[in-house]
Structure 1
């Protein structure tokens, strides 16, 4: 798919701690288990350590085990209902239409993606689910009765990087490994890395944030404005040259995050026009040669 006259800019978000102040399971699912968040994650971490296992797979198994024990429905619709209770940082609900409108005014197309170690089914139940071109996240396999029985996709910090290449090449399928490895010339890729903006808050985002930054895109480490500790952790990422910007997780118009993103959009537009100018002059010279 060749580039069009209107460049596409991909805004790619982690979810927990980036768009939402906390892990999505904590707003209602863990409460329904009659557990505290500390109890649930302590149990998940213990399962991980004792079995030298993948932490994402362990939390997914624990969700299934505890839900069965407490006779909570394991159907997709049940997880989506829990997703409706997820809360967001200030401005998130209005953010997408705000940035889309700014992009249109500048002559660019803005697309939004989720790249998360959280649960896809819960994200699908949130009020913002329809804003995303694709949701890359953990998910379950379901049996003939529609009940979750096994992890289908587990997304950890290394798995996240493959989804950047899927976005880069315009591949929506998680299971398609052949297309993502097929050679594609840079100018044919729908979303070059230099037109990506990655939002993340923690350790699982570092490989993606660094990859986007190193390939000419822009990475933003967001932090909970109420936490000085999280701010310091985010600032370390910029000092270690893993991200370009550090912003509070406040998505309201006129805030730091808004100003950074709109400035990046301006830069991408000008860079694109400059590339087109270079291309025009090169093609003219080739015709004369």
Structure 2
């Protein structure tokens, strides 16, 4: 009997599963800044120092928390994640899609690939749904206090995590196995069985990568924002994504119908591949 194929659903977080940026729910108000102030200071730091914008925001988080005497423990960041509001239907999405996959002969796994903070995502009510959370994170000293970036995920190095998922390499540290040559059909999750869901410019390299290798890229937008779909349609016109739809994950939504249809296609393609495989 043939093993079930694995389908990986890979999500950005900010603007994809939750509106806005995760730091804006709890952390930025706690340091006494407006969202505009914090991000302006972060971006100006990056501009002045000619630095990576992701590393700059992580540095500003540490500086701002220290200046206000806030905890820099992992648990404090996780507590911040408990304040995040998710898009409609996200909480119930994973169980429903997993069950749909099982009913159609495929095994569904979920991943996060985000430029946000891993520790905050770990505090959300959906953290347990993910096989692995690839996101920015801090190094912690012997007292458990964040003092330096451990992982910084920008728009280009997001693509490395797609190859890690593709090849079944879960460690961020490992750079040997992820660069080892493995035939695409022998990889745990071939790109044609990856569905990437993102909302913005940091996702474009991943969207294009997955699409070019035969997978499926979905650009989502906040349904409450005017003209959002029109802006996302540019990605369709530029051939960077396969689909555009609202970030509404409720049953029967456009997103729900789309992902289930993609799962149907992957399941059918897999069955055809099995029929086309020579038998001994």
Fold in common (TM above 0.5): yes
Task: Give the corresponding residue for 1:39.
Answer: 37
Task: Give the corresponding residue for 1:50.
Answer: 48
* Residue of structure 2 aligned with 1:236, choices 234, 237, 244: 234
Give 1:187 deviation, angstroms.
2.3
Task: Give the corresponding residue for 1:151.
Answer: 149
2:74 and 2:126 mapped to 1: Cα distance? 17
Give 1:185 deviation, angstroms.
1.8
* Residue of structure 2 aligned with 1:74, choices 72, 75, 92: 72
Structure 2 residue runs without a partner (length 5+): none
Task: Give the corresponding residue for 2:96.
Answer: 98
Paired residues, number? 279
Larger radius of gyration: 1
- Deviant stretches of 4+, over 2 Å: none
Deviation digits for residues 195-246 of structure 1 (CA, Å, limit 9, x no counterpart): 0000000000000000000100000000011112322221110111100000
Is 1:221 matched up with 2:219?
A: yes
Task: Give the corresponding residue for 2:172.
Answer: 174
1:223 and 1:78 mapped to 2: Cα distance? 29
Which secondary structure does the structure 1 equivalent of 2:119 belong to? Answer: helix
Give 1:268 deviation, angstroms.
0.2
Task: Give the corresponding residue for 1:268.
Answer: 266
Give 1:283 deviation, angstroms.
3.2
Which secondary structure does the structure 2 equivalent of 1:228 belong to? Answer: coil
1:236 and 1:186 mapped to 2: Cα distance? 30
Deviation digits for residues 38-69 of structure 1 (CA, Å, limit 9, x no counterpart): 11001111111111110000000000000000
Give 1:5 deviation, angstroms.
1.7
Is 1:21 matched up with 2:19?
A: yes
* Residue of structure 1 aligned with 2:279, choices 260, 277, 283: 283
Task: Give the corresponding residue for 2:57.
Answer: 59
1:131 and 1:39 mapped to 2: Cα distance? 33
Question: C-alpha root-mean-square deviation of aligned residues, in Å?
Answer: 0.8
1:187 and 1:83 mapped to 2: Cα distance? 38
Q: Which stretch shifts more, 42-51 or 53-62?
A: 42-51
Which secondary structure does the structure 2 equivalent of 1:183 belong to? Answer: coil
1:210 and 1:230 mapped to 2: Cα distance? 20
2:126 and 2:9 mapped to 1: Cα distance? 14
1:45 and 1:165 mapped to 2: Cα distance? 29
2:139 and 2:41 mapped to 1: Cα distance? 23
Task: Name the TM-score, length of structure 1 as normaliser.
Answer: 0.95
1:66 and 1:227 mapped to 2: Cα distance? 30
Give 1:147 deviation, angstroms.
0.2
Give 1:175 deviation, angstroms.
0.8
Task: Give the corresponding residue for 2:124.
Answer: 126
* Residue of structure 1 aligned with 2:209, choices 198, 201, 211: 211
* Residue of structure 2 aligned with 1:83, choices 72, 81, 84: 81
